[in-house]
């Protein structure tokens, strides 16, 4: 690292370069795969049954995002801020599209701003935003283990570390120390173990996986034996996209991971069509969710 600093580089200046390098490599891989199998993709047609499956997939994915907002509200309640699930869902939906902006942090900023506007201390709002992805990562690791049916010690270790680290006995002393260092009047404290939000994140990921499987059904039949593979592959791709820093919405990483996992079992043309359709399904669900939240908010304000 000293050699890099001598060239006028440091970690902060390297982060944007690294982010674009990862994105470029991923897009190159996807474009190369697409060009190789474009003939297969062009032959794919979606019939009325497929359109019905895609419509159902959009509905399931939309419900998953609404449910995620309720889970975030549960996390705030554990921090002694009893917000309603409806408020959590509307705030989550209206800020969710901001994750596609460069930096992949603006949706978090929007939720913190909305929470502080409601009177929640910024420290508590920030902690809720910190806990949410940790619980999501734990849920993702569990689904990877269940879906693949094999023992992956890295996922087991990460899951155990997070589940122990978020226990009030270990987390609260850290939070008290942080409050002292920042000389904050607001004493952060987790009232009890976040078991309900953890189960909620597992429910959220279950809904997302079901939406993905229904998207696959739009193009081809799925046997019961293939469901664990699809769930495991989706969970891996979603998890890698979540933890890859700086890439808006995990774009590219999610798709590349799906291709890598499903290529041995499904035709490449179908896989490319599936990931394109699922990205469309998820984006439509997020746009619909944001639109419905804005409409509901305006309707509520007009009644006041």
CA separation for the pair 45, 123 (Å, rounded): 51
User: Which positions ≥6 away from 203 have C-beta within 8 Å?
Assistant: 67, 71
Sign of torsion, CA 226 228 231 232?
negative
Check residue 102 and give its pLDDT. Answer: 66
Q: Which contiguous run of DSSP H or E holds residue 54?
A: helix 48-78
The segments of the chain whose pLDDT lies below 70 read: 1-44, 102-104, 146-152, 178-187, 245-251, 300-304
User: Which positions ≥6 away from 161 have C-beta within 8 Å?
Assistant: none
Check residue 7 and give its pLDDT. Answer: 41
pLDDT tens by residue, 279-294: 888 888 888 998 888 8
CA separation for the pair 84, 73 (Å, rounded): 7
Region of residue 223 (phi > 0: left; psi between -120 and 50: alpha; otherwise: beta): beta
Cβ atoms within 10 Å of 171's Cβ, excluding its own:
19
């Amino acid at each position: 690292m000293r050699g890099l600093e001598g060239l006028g580089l440091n970690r902060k200046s390297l982060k944007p370069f690294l982010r674009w390098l990862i994105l470029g490599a991923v897009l190159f891989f996807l474009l190369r795969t697409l060009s190789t199998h474009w003939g297969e993709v062009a032959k794919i047609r979606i019939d009325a049954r497929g359109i019905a499956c895609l419509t159902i997939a959009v509905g399931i994915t939309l419900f998953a995002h609404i449910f995620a907002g309720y889970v975030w509200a549960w996390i705030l309640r554990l921090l002694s801020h009893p917000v309603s699930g409806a408020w959590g869902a509307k705030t989550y939906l209206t800020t969710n599209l901001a994750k596609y902006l460069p930096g992949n942090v603006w949706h978090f900023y929007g939720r913190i701003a909305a929470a502080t506007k409601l009177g929640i201390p910024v420290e508590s709002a920030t902690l809720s935003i910190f806990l949410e992805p940790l619980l999501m990562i734990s849920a993702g690791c569990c689904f990877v283990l269940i879906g693949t049916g094999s023992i992956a010690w890295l996922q087991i270790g990460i899951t155990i570390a997070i589940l122990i680290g978020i226990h009030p006995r270990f987390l609260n002393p850290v939070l008290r120390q942080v409050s002292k260092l920042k000389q904050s009047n607001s004493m952060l404290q987790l009232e009890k173990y976040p078991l309900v939000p953890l189960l909620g994140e597992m429910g959220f990921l279950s809904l997302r996986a079901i939406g993905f499987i229904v998207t696959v059904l739009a193009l081809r039949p799925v046997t019961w034996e293939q469901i664990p593979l699809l769930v495991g592959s989706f969970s891996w791709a979603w998890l890698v996209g979540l933890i890859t820093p700086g890439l808006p919405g995990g774009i590219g990483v999610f798709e590349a991971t799906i291709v890598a996992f499903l290529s041995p079992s499904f035709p490449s043309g179908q896989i490319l069509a599936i990931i394109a359709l699922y990205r469309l399904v998820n984006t439509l669900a997020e746009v619909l969710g944001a639109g419905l939240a804005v409409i509901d908010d305006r309707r509520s304000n007009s009644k006041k």
